[in-house]
Chains A and B, each alone.
Chain A
Amino acid sequence: MRKDLVFGMAGSGGDGIVSAGDSLLQAASAEGYHGVMTKSFGSQIRGGESSCRVRISTEPVLNPGGNLDVAVALNWEDFLKFGAELPVAGSTVVIYEAATGVPENQIPLVGVTPLQVIAVPIAEMAKSTAGTERAKNTVVLGLIAGWFGIGGEAVMKGISKKLAKKSQELVDANQKAFDAGVVFAKTHPLKADMTVEPSKTKGAVKLLTDGNDMCAAAAIFAGCQFFGGYPITPSTEIMQFFTSHVWKYGGAVLQAEDEIAGIGAAVGASFAGRKAMTATSGPGLSLKSEMMGLASIAELPLVIVDVQRGGPSTGLPTKTEQSDFFAAAFSAHGDVIRPVLAPTSVADIFRITVEAFNIAEYYQTPVIVLSDQEIASRKETLDPIDTSQFKIVNRLLPTGSDLQDYKRFKQTENHISPISHPGMLGGTYLASGIEHVESGAPTNSGSVHARMNDKRIRKFDPLKERKDLFEITGNPDAPLALIAWGSVAGVCREALQMAREQGLDVKLMVPYLLYPVAEQTYRDFFASVQKGLVVEQSHLAQTFKVLRMHLDLPKGLQSLARSGANPFLPGEIVAALHHLLSELQRSHEGKLQPQE
C-alpha cells in the first residue's frame, strides 16, 4: 500500500489526457484524498502535445512531486517532449499505448530501467467497447482505478454527470471503456502492490480549484470592486473570474484595449475610492511599468498580479519561471519601493492576495503579487478556508477635522496621509505624477522632492518588520539552510522533510514578502547558517542577487538556480544539501589540522 502516488500522463491535444487528469483529481478529492494537478502544453492553440501531472496522497500535498510513480504515454513522441517535466525513474511503472508498436524492452527512455513496463492496447480497447478511440482517456482512468485503487466509482460518477447532458448512450459507452480498463488491470497485476491507502478524511468537504481562480476569489473577498486588464497567458483566468462574479458585489471589470489601459483603468478606479486590481504576465508587466510609477507617486492603492512565465519577451508563454523578480521590484523609473509578495500554492494565494490588498490600502501603494504559471494553473484540493479569520484593511479616510484644511499628502508621523476620493465634500485635490507639495499642488523644488521621496520610502519601514510574512521551518539553529519562494517553495518544503528524515540538520525560509527586503529577518535567519542554498528558477539567480545587494550573506550560502520549465525535484535538493554538509565537514576537519 502507498500513501502517495504521482501520475504523469502525456498525449496529443485531442487525446483528452488533461481531462482524464481532471477527472482523476476530482474523483480523488471526492473520496477525501489530498491532491495536486499541474498541466503542461505545447504552445499550439489546439492539438500539439499536452500533459498533466496528478499527485494523490492521504496527507496534505506540498508540491506536484518529483519522479513519477506512474507514467502514461499515449504516444512516445509527445511524452518525450516534456523531458524533465515528466521524469521516469527506477521506481516508475510505465504504461503506454501498445499501438505505438514499441516493444516493452525497447521504450525510448535512455539511462533508466523502470520498475515495470506495460504496453496496453488502449485505443483498441476504447474502440471495441465505446466504439470510438475518443474514449481512450476513459480506458486510462479504468486502468488507474484497477491498478492503484483510486477513483473507481467516483470517476464514473463525475464522467456521467458531465456527459449526462449530452446523451445516456455516451455515458454507457464510457462506462464500458472504463470497465475494460479495470478488467485489464485486474488480469495483468503489477509486480508490486501500488494501491493507495484508503483516505482518512472520506466525506469531508474539500475545495478544488486552481491558483488563478483562487486569486480572483480572494480579491473579491478582500473587497476589490474593479478589475482592468488584457488577456495574456497564463493570467487570463483571473480576469475571466471577475467577468463572471464581480458584478454581484457592485463592482465592474474592463477588458481594456491594451495592457496600459488595463492598469490605467484600475488606477482610475482606485483614485475614485474603490479597491482595484489588474493581472498580467511578463510582457504585460513591462508595459505597465509607467503606470506603476504613477500609482507610487500619487500614492494610490493598487494590486498587480504578475503570473510569471518564461521570459524575456514572449519567451515560454505556457511554462513557469521565476525571472520577473527584478522587473517586479525595480521596473518603473525613479526612487521607489513597491512591495512584492509571492504565494507558494493555491492554498496560500488566498491569504497572500488578501494581504496584498491590505498592504496596498494601508500604505497607499501599488503591490505586486508574483504568482507563476505553475501555481496559476495547478489544481489543488484544499480544506475549507475560514474567511472570518482574515482581517480586511481599508484606506485611511480623512476625518471631519482633516477636511477643514485638507492636505492630501500631509506629512504625518507614520508618513501615511488620509486619502479622500471624488464625491467627498472638502476633499478635492490634484493627484499627479508630477512632484507635489502636501496639498497636491505641483512643484519643481528639489527640497520638496527629497522630503516627499523620504515620505514615500520611509512609510514602508514597518512592513519590513512583518515576521508573519516569512515561514521558517526546521531547526532554527541549523547550520544548513534553504531559501525558496513561489512554486519552488513547495519542492523545498518536501526536501526539508526528506533531509531531516535522513538526519540532516537543516532549516527552510520561505519569504512571502520578497520586497522590500526585510534585512533583519534575514540576518536573524542567517545567524546559525554555515552552508545553504537559495533555490530558484531564474538563470540569473535574481533572488540570490537581490539578497546579496541588501545583505552580507553567510560565506557558505550558494545559489541553486536554473531557467524555468525545468522543475526542481526534492531529491536533487536533498542531494545538494548532502554535498554542502560534506563540504562543511571537510572544512571543519581542515581547521583541526595545524597550519604548516
Chain B
Amino acid sequence: MSANATCEFQAKDYKSDLKPIWCPGCGDYSVVQGIYRALAAIGRPPHEVAFISGIGCSSRIPGYTTAYGFNTVHGRALPIAQGIKLANPDLMVLAAGGDGDGFSIGGGHIAHLIRRNIDITYLVMDNQIYGLTKGQLSPTSQKGRTTCTSPYGSLENPVNPLLYVLAYGAGFVAQASPTDLAGMAAIIEEAIRFPGFAFVNIQSPCVTYGEEAQQIKGLKAISENLSSLGHNPADRLAAMDLAQHYGEKLHLGVFYRNPEPAPTYDALIRERQAALSKDAPPKERILDLFIKK
C-alpha cells in the first residue's frame, strides 16, 4: 500500500452510485462534494480510505463515497475509527456525523481521541437540530429555541464544539460551510493532510427543521473569513477567543493548526511494535511464559 498514490483521481471517482436520502437543498450535499474534491486533491485510492460514521442524516455520508464505509451505531463513530487506525495505520481514516452524534450521545469519546492524537479527521455536520428523528433539540441548539421537544423554548445552553475541541488540545481545528464550497473543500483537504487528529465543524443547514437564520442566506450574513480577519492559526489562545463567538458569528477557516505537530499515537505504536517484536518468541511458544522451574 503506498501512501502517495501515483495514479490521479478525480472527484467523481469517490462518488458512489447510491442516491442520498437527504432532503432537497440539504447542506450535506455540498459537504459530500467538498469531500470528493478534497480526496481527489490528495489522491489516495478509495480502497485505502476508511470512512466511518454514527447515526443521523449526515452519518449516511460514507455510503455516498467509494471508500470502505462503516455506518455504525449512534455516537460511536470515533471509537470504531480508532480501532481501524490502530489496527492498520496505513489507512486514511475519516469520521463524520452530526452534532447530536458527536456532542451528545457520543460526546464522551472526542476528548479521548484528542488526547491520544490518533491521525483521524473528524467532520461534524452541525445543524443545531435532530433531523433524522424530525426536529428535536440538539446539543448545539440555541437557548430558548422551540423544537418538538422544547415547545416552550429550550432551557439549556448549547455546547460550543470549537471551544470544546480546542480546550482538549486538538492539533487542527477549523470551521467550514456550504456557503463557500471551494473554501470547504480546501479546509477538508488541509484537515486530512494534517498529521494528527483534525476537527472540522461544518455549519450545514437543515432545510426542513432548521431555523431561517441558519439557512444559507442567514449563514452568509454572519460569516467572516478568519484569514481576512488576520487570524494567526498558530495562536491557540486567539483561536479560543474567536471560538467564543460560535453561534453569533460564522468564522470560516482554520482556527488552530499546531505548528509543531506532536507524534501521533499510531506512529508511536508502530515504533513500539518494531522495538518489541525483535526478540519476541514465536506466538506458538507464548505458553513458555508460564513455565515454572
Give chain A's interface residues, CB within 8 Å of chain B: 26, 29-30, 205-209, 213-214, 217, 220-221, 223, 225-226, 228, 245, 247-252, 254, 256-258, 260-262, 264-274, 276, 290-291, 293-294, 298, 350, 381-382, 384-385, 387-388, 421-434, 441-442
Other-chain contact of B286, A221, A265, A273, A441 (Cβ < 8 Å): A221
Given pairs A217-B286, A294-B72, A433-B72, 17 additional interface contacts (CB within 8 A): A217-B290, A221-B283, A247-B272, A249-B280, A251-B273, A254-B86, A258-B108, A276-B83, A298-B70, A422-B49, A423-B90, A424-B47, A425-B45, A428-B66, A428-B67, A430-B71, A442-B63
- Are A29 and B276 within 8 A (Cβ)? no
Q: How far is the CA of A154 from the CA of B90 in the complex (A)?
A: 51
* Given A254-B82, A267-B83, A268-B80, A249-B283 contact (CB < 8 Å): yes
Q: How far is the CA of A350 from the CA of B87 in the complex (A)?
A: 24
- Are A248 and B276 within 8 A (Cβ)? yes
Considering only residues 53-111 of chain B, those with a C-beta below 8 Å from chain A are: 55, 60, 62-63, 66-73, 76, 78-88, 90-91, 108-109, 111
- Are A206 and B292 within 8 A (Cβ)? yes
Q: How far is the CA of A245 from the CA of B70 in the complex (A)?
A: 30
* Given A207-B291, A214-B290, A248-B84 contact (CB < 8 Å): no
- Residues on A with C-beta less than 8 A from B286 are 217, 220-221, 245
- Residues on B with C-beta less than 8 A from A223 are 283
Q: How far is the CA of A400 from the CA of B63 in the complex (A)?
A: 24
- Are A205 and B291 within 8 A (Cβ)? yes
* Given A206-B292, A264-B79, A441-B63, A273-B287 contact (CB < 8 Å): no
Chain A residue at smallest Cβ distance from B286 = A217
- Are A247 and B76 within 8 A (Cβ)? no
- Residues on B with C-beta less than 8 A from A245 are 286, 289
* Given A217-B287, A433-B73, A268-B82 contact (CB < 8 Å): yes
Chain B residue at smallest Cβ distance from A241 = B289
- Residues on A with C-beta less than 8 A from B85 are 268
- Residues on A with C-beta less than 8 A from B55 are 433
- Are A261 and B50 within 8 A (Cβ)? no
10 smallest CB-CB distances across A and B, nearest first, come from: A268-B83, A264-B79, A265-B83, A248-B280, A269-B87, A261-B79, A268-B80, A272-B87, A432-B71, A422-B68
- Are A207 and B84 within 8 A (Cβ)? no
- Residues on A with C-beta less than 8 A from B272 are 247
- Residues on B with C-beta less than 8 A from A382 are 290
Whole-angstrom distance between the Cβ of B197 and the nearest chain A Cβ = 14
Other-chain contact of B81, A206, A268, A291 (Cβ < 8 Å): A268
Chain B residue at smallest Cβ distance from A203 = B293
Other-chain contact of A430, B46, B63, B87, B276 (Cβ < 8 Å): B63
Whole-angstrom distance between the Cβ of B7 and the nearest chain A Cβ = 12
B112 within 8 A of A: yes
- Are A422 and B83 within 8 A (Cβ)? no
Chain B residue at smallest Cβ distance from A434 = B71
- Are A250 and B277 within 8 A (Cβ)? yes
Considering only residues 253-293 of chain B, those with a C-beta below 8 Å from chain A are: 269, 272-273, 276-277, 280, 283-287, 289-293
Chain B residues touching A, range: 35 or more
- Are A290 and B276 within 8 A (Cβ)? no
* Given A207-B291, A384-B287, A272-B73 contact (CB < 8 Å): no
- Are A268 and B47 within 8 A (Cβ)? no
Chain A residue at smallest Cβ distance from B62 = A430
- Are B287 and A385 within 8 A (Cβ)? yes
- Are A213 and B290 within 8 A (Cβ)? yes
B18 within 8 A of A: yes
- Residues on A with C-beta less than 8 A from B90 are 423
- Are B87 and A225 within 8 A (Cβ)? yes
A interface footprint on B1-25 (CB within 8 Å = 1, 0 otherwise): 1000000000000000010000000
- Are B87 and A260 within 8 A (Cβ)? no
- Are B88 and A265 within 8 A (Cβ)? no
- Are A269 and B108 within 8 A (Cβ)? no
Whole-angstrom distance between the Cβ of B268 and the nearest chain A Cβ = 10
* Given A250-B273, A441-B18, A257-B84 contact (CB < 8 Å): no
B190 within 8 A of A: no
Whole-angstrom distance between the Cβ of B106 and the nearest chain A Cβ = 9
- Are B47 and A428 within 8 A (Cβ)? yes
Whole-angstrom distance between the Cβ of A227 and the nearest chain B Cβ = 10
- Residues on B with C-beta less than 8 A from A252 are 86-87, 269, 273
Other-chain contact of A272, B47, B84, B111, B277 (Cβ < 8 Å): B84
- Residues on B with C-beta less than 8 A from A294 are 72-73
Chain B residue at smallest Cβ distance from A30 = B292
